[in-house]
């Protein structure tokens, strides 16, 4: 393999480049902004962003994001880097933040702050961003694959990873409506657009669904471990819950020890599997295939009660938890 200098860029500094097919993007660290190539890097053209330092760029198809080192926040492109627009937080602009690392997979992306603001995420290719549950610390390296991500700290925090806290093992049965008939289907057989029966809210269509491999032996946190429901073929993550009419003081104490809380859906309490004596911890050192889905909802933080194997009332995943728990 051999490399050669490209046209007119022999004296500039570039801390980050990305390639998708024959299209490439590059971030200048000499205050010359963002550049793009349409021929695998043989020639380059300056984009509409002609100033500023950008130390991290990512490209997925024609969508790209670029993290600024000049207090300019994050920019996004939908045409392989030819034109760029500054992204926004959903609660306001973040044009004064620096980002050491960005990553993009399809329309989902993550960004590590260099201004001690933690980790941000996007689900629309960088147009808008939300703070994750990690709201402080510097992160100088992030990566994403599907909906799973990892982030390396520059603040002596080690490495973080994310998976949804609300997941079912692939064989869990979900009550759906199909051809006007209610029936149970394995969660691994469901897809976007399928109709699920909810508790008190009728039928709702699946908006997002995803799966991933998970080995529970890699964590010691109870809410992240896997639990099997006694006398039922139901395996869930520890924070996932069943809906009950009321919880006991003992269950509340166990819930707090698991590092989570008792939540509420409609008139039911959500008792986490890790705090319920109806579940037993799984200690197997092996990969499980876990699935989770989001039902259509105007509020990204809300989820529904749903019916799973044997008519048990459980819960769907909220959109926010689905993306970055």
**Per-residue pLDDT tens digits for 14-71:** 889 999 999 999 999 999 999 999 999 999 999 999 999 998 999 999 999 999 888 8
Domain harbouring 309, CATH code: 2.170.16.10
* Most confidently modeled range among 155-159, 215-219, 247-251: 247-251
8 Å CB contact between 70 and 115? no
Distances (CA, A) of 201 to 196, 297, 306: 10, 11, 10
Q: Same structural domain for residues 143 and 185? A: no
Closest CA to 27 of 100, 88, 120: 100
In terms of domains, do 315 and 187 share one? yes
Q: How many domains does the chain have?
A: 2
Beta strand segments in 21-169, E: 23-28, 34-37, 45-46, 54-60, 63-68, 74-77, 85-86, 88-89, 99-105, 108-113, 119-122, 128-131, 139-145, 148-153, 159-162, 168-169
> Are 303 and 277 in a shared domain?
yes
Least-confidence region, from 47-61, 124-138, 179-193: 124-138
Q: Is 203 in the same domain as 314?
A: yes
Asked whether residue 4 is domain-assigned, the answer is no
Can you give the pLDDT at residue 90? 59
Specify burial of residue 41 (Cβ count, 10 A radius: 0-12, 13-18, 19+).
middle
Q: What percent of the chain has pLDDT over 70?
A: 90
Q: Residues 138-150: what's their mean pLDDT? A: 81
Domain end among 162, 188, 220: 162
Q: Do residues 173 and 308 both lie within one domain?
A: yes
Signed CA dihedral, 228, 320, 99, 146: sign only: positive
pLDDT for residue 9: 56
Closest by Cα among 215, 208, 82, 56 to 144? 56
Is residue 7 situated within a structural domain?
no
Of 102, 136, 162, the domain-final residue: 162
- Residue 142 is assigned to a structural domain of this protein: yes
Residues 201 and 239 in one domain: yes
Same-domain pairing of 198 and 301: yes
Residues 144 and 36 reside in one and the same domain: yes
Phi-psi region of 172 (alpha: psi -120 to 50; beta: other; left: phi over 0): beta
Residue at which a domain ends, from 162, 179, 195: 162
Per-residue pLDDT tens for 221-258? 787 789 999 989 899 999 888 999 999 999 999 999 98
> Element (H or E) spanning 249, and its range?
helix 249-257
Same domain, 229 and 91: no
Q: Which domain holds residue 18?
A: 14-162
Check residue 158 and give its pLDDT.
Answer: 82
CB contact set of 1 (below 8 Å; sequence gap of 6+): none
pLDDT digits (tens, 9 = 90+) for 251-298: 999 999 988 889 999 999 999 999 999 999 998 888 899 898 999 998
Kindly state whether residue 1 falls inside one of the protein's structural domains: no
| Structure tokens belonging to residue 152 | 């390396």
In a domain, 298, yes or no: yes
- Confidence at residue 128, expressed as pLDDT on a 0 to 100 scale: 87
What confidence tier does 151 reach under pLDDT thresholds 50, 70, 90? confident
Question: Rounded CA gap, 318 and 295, in Å?
Answer: 8
CATH number at residue 150: 2.130.10.10
Asked if residue 212 belongs to a domain, the reply is yes
pLDDT value of position 239:
87
Total residues belonging to the chain:
325
The reply to whether 3 falls in a domain is: no
| Mean pLDDT confidence for 179-195 | 97
Domain match, 145 and 186 both: no
Residue 146 has pLDDT above 70, yes or no: no
Residues 84 and 21 in one domain: yes
Nearest to 260 by CA among 282, 236, 239, 229: 239
Regarding whether 196 and 155 lie in a shared domain, the answer is no
């Amino acid at each position: 393999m051999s490399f050669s200098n490209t046209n007119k860029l022999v004296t500039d500094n570039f801390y980050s480049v990305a390639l998708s097919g024959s299209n490439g993007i590059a971030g200048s660290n000499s205050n010359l902004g963002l550049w793009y190539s349409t021929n695998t890097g043989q020639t380059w053209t300056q984009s509409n962003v002609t100033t500023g330092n950008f130390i991290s760029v990512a490209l997925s198809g024609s969508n790209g994001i670029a993290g600024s080192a000049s207090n300019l926040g994050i920019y996004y492109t939908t045409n392989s880097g030819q034109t760029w627009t500054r992204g926004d937080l959903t609660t306001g602009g973040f044009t004064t933040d620096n980002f050491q690392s960005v990553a993009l997979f399809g329309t989902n992306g993550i960004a590590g702050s260099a201004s001690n603001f933690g980790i941000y995420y996007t689900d629309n290719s960088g147009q808008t961003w939300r703070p994750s549950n990690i709201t402080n610390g510097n992160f100088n390296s992030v990566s994403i694959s599907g909906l799973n991500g990892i982030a390396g700290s520059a603040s002596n925090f080690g490495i973080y990873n994310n998976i949804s806290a609300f997941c079912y093992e692939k064989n869990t049965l979900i009550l759906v409506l199909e051809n006007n008939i209610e029936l149970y289907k394995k969660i691994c057989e469901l897809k976007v657009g399928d109709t699920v029966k909810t508790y008190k809210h009728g039928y709702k269509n699946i908006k997002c669904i995803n799966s991933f491999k998970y080995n529970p032996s890699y964590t010691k946190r109870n809410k992240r471990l896997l639990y099997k429901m006694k006398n039922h073929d139901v395996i869930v993550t520890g924070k996932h819950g069943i809906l009950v009419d009321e919880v006991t003081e003992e269950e509340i104490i166990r819930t707090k020890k698991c590092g989570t809380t008792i939540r509420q859906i409609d008139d039911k309490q959500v008792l986490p599997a890790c705090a319920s004596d109806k579940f037993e911890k799984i200690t197997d050192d092996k990969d499980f295939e876990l699935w989770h889905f989001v039902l259509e909802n105007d509020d990204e933080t809300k989820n529904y009660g749903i019916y799973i194997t044997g008519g048990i009332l459980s819960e769907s995943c909220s959109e926010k938890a689905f993306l970055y728990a």
